[in-house]
Amino acid sequence: MGLIETSCSQAPLAADPLTLSEIVENGLCIGCGLCRSMAGRDIEMVMTPEGRERPVARKA
């Protein structure tokens, strides 16, 4: 059996990525901590009053 070749079109990328605060404020954060694992000490995960974890950028 041979391989099937397909043509994948790529969607254009957004001009500017969203900031951490834009992601959280627009309800796009799921509290997984991936941003924390990538940014290291620059981001702290805090518990909200609703019991959800959310990232907060640490002050320099």
Q: Are 28 and 17 in contact (CB under 8 A)?
A: no
pLDDT given for residue 14 in this prediction: 62
pLDDT given for residue 1 in this prediction: 55
Residue among 28, 24, 27 nearest 44 (CA): 24
pLDDT given for residue 59 in this prediction: 83
**Which amino acid does the sequence have at 5?**
E
**Can you tell me the distance from the alpha carbon of 44 to that of 21, in angstroms, rounded to the nearest whole number?**
13
Q: Are 45 and 33 in contact (CB under 8 A)?
A: yes
pLDDT digits over 5-33, tens only? 666 667 666 688 899 999 999 999 999 99
Tokens encoding 32: 């997984």
- Among residues of the chain, what percentage have pLDDT more than 70? 77
